[in-house]
Structure 1
């Protein structure tokens, strides 16, 4: 029997069959198109002159509700955040019956529909620099997988709620909805990792894990501009090792390669501050980058040839820090890498499109790699050294070619930071902060951590005497800061992720307890971190329920600032 539901606006405009899936048509998503949404069944307009509606108001299809209207309606909804999933069709081969039911319940919520629409139309375009938006892999891959993998769906909803909450100053979404979904995503991720590790999985299960990890990392970046935690990347690497993906991946594994390539770059960014954290081995990086298409550069900015060289630099730095290679070998490798960076010709590089500004992006990353390698080689070298300032100026000159209106500006957070750490002039520092403001305004993502560290480095340099030429390294300023305090919750989540893998029987207890505490003390923002900290230690220490309640009460009484909350952790 033919369905009486209206097709989505996109399918209607293209005169093609629609699967009428809610909240967005799966045919549109699988083709990378923006689903135009569904009209209300009827809108009475005018008087009919014939037919069954003769002499009555005629029902006609109404234009689908706009994302803005959906956001406003959902933000006015005071109902609790959905604990489950929607009526989107899923493949029985890719999820268990319980997962299918959960996905349907989650997707049935109006709030979920709004958050998915927000992810699709607001967040996705800023995750990759594309001229043809219909080819956005974050829409084609992530959304289609999210309708099959419950952990990824929760991660997408968490990221979207966090971003929407920041964007609209809505604490309910940022502090309640986003945290609930993130906790669920992390719990589901542990289940998914165990499933893949057991060998009972398919390609969607495996790629769902990699996609979930990337979305969780983007959630961190949305809040602060950097992910301070490495448990997720380490988990991805353990799966790669177990499945021997460095040997088995082929060009046909396009989706897997896309996710892993991005995780390999995030692994490198994380290792700039602490090379010992590097997870991905050079062999796997080489395999991934040999299979990646040019979307890798569209997402990450840095040309793959430079990624391989800087990855090798970080790998040898890690080996040197653990005593596996001598100082002489370490220095020779880094000096040779600097020469490779200087000899690399950006004009011979392949770029995602014909936009000439890609050359400026490539040059900015080239000198970012040069400057970072010099600092790994000798972090005490004076910033006044000519070749240090040459790289600083080259980075800033390259970035100056890119207007604020270009999507490529969003790729340059790292080059701006590396240049800023060795920047000496006041006007150049002011320029860097102006460009960060432009990036934040365009991407609508938080970039507080890099700015916070730069401010501290510059303040330390200002306290030096006029004749003091000693360097002020940026790495020691990675410690506790306001950004760390704001992300204390994420620290707990990372620890919870590891803990729930080690003792899965107890992980559900802490998840339920933390949700209960957040609902009980909703609106009391100053107690948020303390409650989670106490609950975390309650589970680890096996404290009885009465003592837990007493500790929660005492913590709330004593908690005068976020600092005391952090001390609990």
Structure 2
């Protein structure tokens, strides 16, 4: 009996070993794209591998994983069950999830994909240590911290100047370089600073690399239906960036903050907008402004860095004033600002228009002085009426196509329509009517904006990603079912094509507005306690 038992055990062990060998050869990170996605070994035959030919599959070739747009349902990460997880997250709303009723939203729970405890004021940059994983050490790799050692990254093995990066960093750096940087700007060119400026600086700055990976991972998660693993990675890099900022800034004398630290804060602003934050982006935007002021203004940076920071700050700050009248205050003096000479990747031809948004937002402060109010309305109307895309001359970045410039001009026209709509919407809340002072009616501006947008294909050309603000304000001020349907369909295209979370927040707010009683959209925002950013 004992011998029979031993033989049975030996046979079982032999069967397990044999089965393990038959499950497939060791998978490698090289090979064609099809084998990478299937996590199968590739024989690497050129131009197409024999493994794909034998199975009747289309060989994807040996190019970049991001050469073509990532299918939102593509299962890039084939993961084994996690043994442990050191970062606790609340998953974000999925791209297809229904809009939650108003009473289910709260300031603390709104669309949070990051850690549950996040600094809420700029001064909390000095107390961020409480949010850093206690088990993190300088010798611990990215994969160990998040228990991602078994995950297969679709990147080549780091070599040369990239050998100091982890596989995870290399993966998200490659994604940013080949895909993310082209979708997170409103103008693509050979001189896109998200590549030409940020990547070289990040390769020599671990702090900036972490901020870049946080933004890249969050964008990847949005483009792959909120992949939980990518969200977890993004949250981890966010925490580590904040910890690094706290440590680095505490050691710097006032006025000597390094450019890389300030660029990292700028990327955290983008991270929050990509995430769809309705709170935290304002913390980083205010911190960015204060750090620049403490350093002495934009003149203390090199030209390329100053252009990037000023474009991002001015665009985010001015557009944010549309929906955040109380939270956003400009502290920069005229001597600390910057003048754009190159066509900016965020602003395009809209600079003169978006600068009017704070002036429109401040109109209610003049209600005690009807004469000054009427004069300001007439001035704004004149500036909008006489604006053309040639009002300001810019240097065109190398590699910018005429088709891109045409799309930028069309988008800028939509911004002018949106500014007219916003002007009317602001005056509608006043007891006395001033709409007769405006040369264009609200209905004319709404019709013009939607008619122009209906002609756009709204594909992955990044210029269209700037249309969130015009679509949102138009949706707020139209009651026509067909017009509302066009707005939602257009926003959905932007959400899918560009993976920026604030588009989803705009859609949710419109759903609340249209479903509820007759309320002004600013009142709905206040009821939700949302600080929405439409940048």
User: Partner residue of 1:243?
Assistant: 295
User: Partner residue of 1:127?
Assistant: 184
Could you list the per-position Cα deviations for residues 309-341 of structure 1 after superposition, in whole angstroms to 9, with x for gaps in the alignment? Answer: 334444x459x39x9x95653453243212211
Looking at structure 2, the residues matched to 80 and 215 of structure 1 have their Cα atoms a distance apart, in angstroms, of: 29
Check whether the contact 1:331–1:377 (CA below 8 A) recurs between aligned residues. no
Could you list the per-position Cα deviations for residues 9-65 of structure 1 after superposition, in whole angstroms to 9, with x for gaps in the alignment? Answer: xxxxxxxxxxxxxx9xxxxxxxxxxxxxxxxxxx9989xxxxxxxxxxxxxxx9677
Q: Does 1:414 align with 2:487?
A: no
User: Partner residue of 2:480?
Assistant: 425
SS of aligned partner of 2:204: coil
Matches within 5 A, 1:377-416: 377-379=427-429, 387-405=441-459, 406-416=461-471
Q: Does 1:299 align with 2:299?
A: no
Check whether the contact 1:224–1:448 (CA below 8 A) recurs between aligned residues. yes
Check whether the contact 1:334–1:377 (CA below 8 A) recurs between aligned residues. no
Residue 210 and residue 377 in structure 1: after superposition, are their counterparts in 2 closer, same or farther (change >3 A)? farther
Could you list the per-position Cα deviations for residues 405-427 of structure 1 after superposition, in whole angstroms to 9, with x for gaps in the alignment? Answer: 34322111111001111011000
Could you list the per-position Cα deviations for residues 424-473 of structure 1 after superposition, in whole angstroms to 9, with x for gaps in the alignment? Answer: 1000000011111211221133321111111122223xx56xxxxxxx31
Q: Does 1:185 align with 2:232?
A: no
User: Partner residue of 2:411?
Assistant: 361
Matches within 5 A, 1:150-229: 150-169=206-225, 171-195=227-251, 198-201=254-257, 205-206=258-259, 208-224=260-276, 229=281
Looking at structure 1, the residues matched to 424 and 348 of structure 2 have their Cα atoms a distance apart, in angstroms, of: 21
Looking at structure 2, the residues matched to 44 and 75 of structure 1 have their Cα atoms a distance apart, in angstroms, of: 21
SS of aligned partner of 1:424: coil
User: Partner residue of 1:3?
Assistant: none
- Which residues of structure 2 form unaligned runs of 5+? 1-28, 30-42, 47-60, 88-136, 143-163
For the aligned residues, what is the CA RMSD?
4.1
Q: Does 1:265 align with 2:315?
A: yes
User: Partner residue of 1:454?
Assistant: 510
Looking at structure 2, the residues matched to 398 and 378 of structure 1 have their Cα atoms a distance apart, in angstroms, of: 25
Q: What TM-score results when the alignment is normalised by the length of structure 2? A: 0.62
Looking at structure 1, the residues matched to 252 and 353 of structure 2 have their Cα atoms a distance apart, in angstroms, of: 32
Residue 67 and residue 392 in structure 1: after superposition, are their counterparts in 2 closer, same or farther (change >3 A)? closer
Looking at structure 2, the residues matched to 330 and 370 of structure 1 have their Cα atoms a distance apart, in angstroms, of: 16
- Which residues of structure 1 form unaligned runs of 5+? 1-22, 24-42, 47-61, 84-100, 465-471, 488-569
How far has the Cα of 1:114 moved from its partner? 1.4
Looking at structure 1, the residues matched to 391 and 456 of structure 2 have their Cα atoms a distance apart, in angstroms, of: 20
User: Partner residue of 1:343?
Assistant: 386
How far has the Cα of 1:395 moved from its partner? 1.6
SS of aligned partner of 1:299: coil
SS of aligned partner of 2:330: coil
Q: Does 1:254 align with 2:304?
A: yes
Looking at structure 2, the residues matched to 219 and 190 of structure 1 have their Cα atoms a distance apart, in angstroms, of: 18
User: Partner residue of 2:133?
Assistant: none
Looking at structure 2, the residues matched to 243 and 327 of structure 1 have their Cα atoms a distance apart, in angstroms, of: 40
Looking at structure 1, the residues matched to 140 and 209 of structure 2 have their Cα atoms a distance apart, in angstroms, of: 11
Q: What TM-score results when the alignment is normalised by the length of structure 1? A: 0.59
Could you list the per-position Cα deviations for residues 469-503 of structure 1 after superposition, in whole angstroms to 9, with x for gaps in the alignment? Answer: xxx3111222565999xx9xxxxxxxxxxxxxxxx
User: Partner residue of 1:145?
Assistant: 201
Select the residue among 412, 416, 421 that pairs with 1:371.
421
Check whether the contact 1:155–1:185 (CA below 8 A) recurs between aligned residues. yes
SS of aligned partner of 1:277: coil
More contact order relative to length (CA 8 Å, sep ≥ 6): 2
Matches within 5 A, 1:394-543: 394-405=448-459, 406-446=461-501, 447-460=503-516, 463=517, 472-479=519-526
Could you list the per-position Cα deviations for residues 183-225 of structure 1 after superposition, in whole angstroms to 9, with x for gaps in the alignment? Answer: 1212222334445553444xxx22x233222322222222327
Check whether the contact 2:214–2:236 (CA below 8 A) recurs between aligned residues. yes
User: Partner residue of 1:557?
Assistant: none
Say which is worse superposed, 169-178 or 334-343, in terms of deviation. 169-178
Check whether the contact 1:449–1:483 (CA below 8 A) recurs between aligned residues. no
Residue 344 and residue 184 in structure 1: after superposition, are their counterparts in 2 closer, same or farther (change >3 A)? same
Residue 264 and residue 196 in structure 1: after superposition, are their counterparts in 2 closer, same or farther (change >3 A)? farther
SS of aligned partner of 1:198: coil
Looking at structure 2, the residues matched to 326 and 228 of structure 1 have their Cα atoms a distance apart, in angstroms, of: 35
Looking at structure 2, the residues matched to 197 and 326 of structure 1 have their Cα atoms a distance apart, in angstroms, of: 45
Could you list the per-position Cα deviations for residues 157-179 of structure 1 after superposition, in whole angstroms to 9, with x for gaps in the alignment? Answer: 22222233343346542442221
Check whether the contact 1:261–1:285 (CA below 8 A) recurs between aligned residues. no
Check whether the contact 2:297–2:336 (CA below 8 A) recurs between aligned residues. no
